[in-house]
Amino acid sequence: MPDVPWWNSAVIYEIYPRSFQDTNADGVGDLRGIIARLPYLVELGVDAIWICPIFPSPMADFGYDVANYIGIDPLFGTLPDFDVLLAEAHRSGLKVLLDLVPNHTSDRHPWFVQSRSSRDNAKRDWYLWRDGGADGAEPNNWLSQFGGSAWEFDPHTAQYYYHAFLKQQPDLNWRNPQVRHAIYDAMRFWLQRGVDGFRVDVLWHLIKDDQFRDNPVNPGFAVGGPPHEALLPLYTTDRPEMAEVLAQMRDVVDQFGERLLIGEIYLPVERLVAYYGRDLRGVHLPFNFSLLGAPWHAGTIGKLIQEYEAALPKGGWPNWVLGNHDRPRIAGRVGRKQARIAAMLLLTLRGTPTIYFGDEIGMTQVPIPPDRVRDPFQKNLPGIKMGRDGSRTPMQWDDSRYAGFSEAEPWLPLADDFRQYNVAKQRSDPTSIYQLYRQLIALRRSRSALLRGSYRPIHADGDLLLFFREQGPERLLVALNFGTGAAVAKFPDELVGTLLLSSHLDRQGEDVRGTIKLRSEEGVVIEVAGKTPMR
């Protein structure tokens, strides 16, 4: 497609490398495992993979505590392995995105080791060091997302350092130009090797208030929620100086041609869109997480789509996410049948979709016995039942002992039902959710209305969500039934078309005239012939 960057029409697939494919029987996935499964990704039809952190790390937060930005952790393989992965992926037509973690390092990173060694070390100012209050207490009330104060006292130099996550993840000082340049150098290292871009971890956290003011109390705090939500993160996140950082990061990638920056940003939509940057000189795709926690009702979803569409800056390209390694799995949240509706929504909305590995086979949220919990967030906050392990369990490839993931006991337990829900089984079942994903991806690729067309909602009541995707003469109608009862979508007589795809995978080619009958939890895509019906 002329003048359209590759990521505009791409489907992105998130790989949590610990859980994708193990090749050396240590129970943890690795790079050779990803290489071995590239043909699967081609078969599924995705265009790009985003691999969660694979850099040397003590693994306190499973790779999000980076001890060296320009290497590969031996658990995952070697730099030559990575080069093979990149070359093989490119040969297969797949782009590769790495996970950049610029907000914090591991406490074992040499930068932090130096920084903490003395108050006058050259790297002291690379992190956020503060004196305690008069009584020796924490410098202010800032809270860690992983529980407790965000300040850790370091007796050696008798100051506190700030950590938005674990105390093993000290935050870098993004006001220091040397820090910025060190991270930009790391980005260039990978871009020169040929990676196609980055997903940027907690992008909205990079800059903190220079006066270290206390965060205000959150009047809407819900008891039982994550404890850090007791305060509003006014002075710890989304600071005005981010605009300049965004533009700088963008300049770095733009020097390498068409590379992609995706930002991990959990903010209300009106703030989220600021991360497209001034004059769109920010990240190409600020991750849109609005579906992750939304109540699963047609009306609510319809409204959030419209709010998102309305908030986009001119020229800003949309994107949609249904799941990731931090959030409960979609099939766990809405059920396996409704997960098909979710798939259809994800792959027919306007914008770049990101699929979380395993969602394409309907993997569900796996209950983790207390003695197998690995997530540091849940270990810190055992009471709150928001652990992330349940969405990080190994990929279910087949019905062999360890689901084809490994020859050894995996680092997290497998789902009880993996013998029923696995790639091998769904490959041979023409009505499986895996086949639905494949067909949806193939359909997207074949229709410019789905890739680039406008989004036009149609008013509907109850459990129905209806919208058109239109591009030139091409006009598709998407009708999704969020309910368990049958539903009928009525249109003026002139709606005539052909059913292209049903979520049940059994009505292809049906003629449509005026009325569309949907079964329980069914979604359909219809190619509309003739003129556009009235709203």
Tokens of 244: 């300049």
Instruction: Give the burial class of 299: count Cβ atoms within 10 A of its Cβ; 0-12 exposed, 13-18 middle, 19 or more buried.
Output: middle
Q: How far apart are CA 249 and CA 50, in angstroms?
A: 18
Q: Judged by CB, which is closer to ligand NOJ: 97, or 487?
A: 97
- For residue 166, give the H/E element and its range: none
Shortest distance (Å) from residue 202 CB to ligand NOJ: 5
DSSP letter assigned to residue 270: H
Residue in 99, 201, 360, 389 annotated catalytic: 201
Residue 308 interacting partner from ligand NOJ, Ca ion, none (CB closer than 5 to 8 Å by kind)? none
Residue in 264, 360, 389, 522 annotated catalytic: 264
For 39, 276, 316, 367, the CA distances from 203, given in Å and listed in that order, are 32, 12, 18, 30
Residue 241 interacting partner from ligand NOJ, Ca ion, none (CB closer than 5 to 8 Å by kind)? none
Q: Judged by CB, which is closer to ligand NOJ: 340, or 392?
A: 392
**Any idea of the CA torsion for 166, 169, 174, 179, to the nearest 10 degrees?**
180
Q: How far apart are CA 137 and CA 160, in angstroms?
A: 9
Q: Distance between alpha carbon 290 and the CA centroid of its chain, in Å?
A: 11
- For residue 245, give the H/E element and its range: helix 242-254
Shortest distance (Å) from residue 79 CB to ligand NOJ: 23
Q: Are 113 and 68 in contact (CB under 8 A)?
A: no
By CB under 6 A, tell whether 202 contacts ligand NOJ: yes
Q: Of residues 47, 61, 138, 196, which one binds ligand NOJ by CB under 6 A? A: 61
Residue 22 interacting partner from ligand NOJ, Ca ion, none (CB closer than 5 to 8 Å by kind)? Ca ion
Q: Judged by CB, which is closer to ligand NOJ: 201, or 521?
A: 201
- For residue 512, give the H/E element and its range: strand 511-513
Shortest distance (Å) from residue 374 CB to ligand NOJ: 12
Shortest distance (Å) from residue 370 CB to ligand NOJ: 20
Q: How far apart are CA 488 and CA 513, in angstroms?
A: 12
**Any idea of the CA torsion for 291, 297, 298, 299, to the nearest 10 degrees?**
-100
Angle (CA) 504-46-190 rounded to 5° is 155
By CB under 6 A, tell whether 64 contacts ligand NOJ: yes
**Any idea of the CA torsion for 522, 526, 531, 532, to the nearest 10 degrees?**
40
Shortest distance (Å) from residue 101 CB to ligand NOJ: 6
Q: Judged by CB, which is closer to ligand NOJ: 229, or 398?
A: 229
Q: Of residues 129, 165, 317, 411, which one binds ligand NOJ by CB under 6 A? A: 165
Q: Does the annotation mark 65 as catalytic?
A: no
Residue 165 interacting partner from Ca ion, ligand NOJ, none (CB closer than 5 to 8 Å by kind)? ligand NOJ
Angle (CA) 149-154-155 rounded to 5° is 130
Q: Judged by CB, which is closer to ligand NOJ: 45, or 387?
A: 387
What number of other Cβ atoms are within 10 A of residue 535's Cβ? 10
Q: Judged by CB, which is closer to Ca ion: 30, or 463?
A: 30
Shortest distance (Å) from residue 405 CB to Ca ion: 10
Q: Are 31 and 72 in contact (CB under 8 A)?
A: yes
Query: Mask: binding to ligand NOJ, 123-162, rule CB under 6 A, as x and -?
Result: ----------------------------------------
By CB under 6 A, tell whether 48 contacts ligand NOJ: no
Q: Judged by CB, which is closer to ligand NOJ: 169, or 481?
A: 169
Binding site for Ca ion (CB under 5 A): 22, 24, 26, 28, 30
Shortest distance (Å) from residue 530 CB to Ca ion: 56
Shortest distance (Å) from residue 396 CB to Ca ion: 17
Site for ligand NOJ, residues 97 to 116, rule: CB under 6 A: 101
Q: How far apart are CA 124 and CA 145, in angstroms?
A: 24
By CB under 6 A, tell whether 389 contacts ligand NOJ: no
Instruction: Give the burial class of 132: count Cβ atoms within 10 A of its Cβ; 0-12 exposed, 13-18 middle, 19 or more buried.
Output: middle
Q: Dump strand ranges (E) for 85-205.
A: 95-100, 129-130, 151-154, 159-162, 197-200
By CB under 6 A, tell whether 326 contacts ligand NOJ: yes
By CB under 6 A, tell whether 203 contacts ligand NOJ: no
Residue 260 interacting partner from ligand NOJ, Ca ion, none (CB closer than 5 to 8 Å by kind)? none
Q: Contacts with ligand NOJ: how many residues (CB under 6 A)?
A: 9
Q: Does the annotation mark 201 as catalytic?
A: yes
Give me the residue whose beta carbon is nearest to ligand NOJ: 64
| List of residues contacting ligand NOJ (CB under 6 A) | 61, 64, 101, 165, 201-202, 264, 325-326
Question: Which residues are tagged catalytic?
Answer: 201, 264
